[in-house]
Amino acid sequence: MKRLLAAAFAFSALATPAFAALPVGAKAPEFSTQGALAGKDFAFDLERALAAGPVVLYFYPKAFTQGCTLEAHAFAEAMPDFRAAGARVIGLSADDLPTLRKFSTEECRDAFPVAIASPAVIKAYDVALVRGGKGTGLTDRTSYVVGRDGRIVMVHSAMDWREHVKLALAAVKALQAK
């Protein structure tokens, strides 16, 4: 009986995806939000940002947690490469504006903005956590690269932060090469 219950539990864990995300080729949902850049309030509108070039939207669970801090440092270090490829980067979380102001300076090193991911944006981009995050507003760690046409050209969803910058930058450089 214990084996049967263990097998049923294992199967149900496999049948329920840990992460969901919008597919490559999908139209990125339009949104506007408030955030912070270098500690100062910042307004973000996806449609306006795309007029200037591709946009990297990276969703992260919570400011000042270990993985999110390391990911912010990695994006900050790579900002010259993203700019050279004509892309903008914006981090998105359910954190409040005072937290984002501080995070934008301390961990993003004034290099790129972070903004509020409202419940509607979290739902539209399908980045709500299944385990532990349901109802909390926390998101999984998902990066999207959105081309100027508003279509998603790259998506990477994994709680391990280490591949997000590399994969997003490769996608942006591929767009630049076209």
DSSP per-residue codes, 109-143? TTSS-EEE--HHHHHHTT-B-SSS-TTTT-B--EE
13 domain-assigned: no
Phi/psi for 94 (5° steps) reads: -85, 10
Looking at residue 103, what is its pLDDT? 97
CATH for 136: 3.40.30.10
31: in domain: yes
Helix (H, G, I), strand (E, B) or coil at 178: coil
pTM of the predicted model as reported, rounded to 2 decimal places:
0.85
Which are the contacts of 169, defined by CB distance < 8 A and separation ≥ 6?
Answer: 78, 81, 82, 85
pLDDT computed for residue 128 by the predictor: 78
So what's the pLDDT on residue 138?
81
Amino acid present at 13 = A
Tally the domains of the chain: 1
171 domain-assigned: yes
Has residue 4 been placed in a domain? no
Q: What is the pLDDT tens value at each position of the chain, 178 positions in all?
A: 333 333 333 323 332 334 458 999 999 999 999 999 999 999 999 999 999 999 999 999 999 999 999 999 999 999 999 999 999 999 999 999 999 999 999 999 999 999 999 999 999 999 977 555 455 668 889 999 999 999 999 999 998 999 999 999 999 999 988 8
- What is the per-residue pLDDT for 177? 85
Please indicate, yes or no, if residue 159 is contained in any of the structural domains: yes
Asked if residue 10 belongs to a domain, the reply is: no
Alpha carbons within 13 A on the beta-carbon side of 78: 25
Question: Taking Cα atoms as reference points, which of 40, 41, 78 lies closest to residue 161?
Answer: 78
5 within some domain = no
The Cα 100–Cα 116 span in angstroms is 8
- Domain membership of residue 9 (yes or no) is no
Find the domain containing 62 and state its range: 19-177
Q: What angle do CA 78, 80, 85 make, to 5 degrees?
A: 100
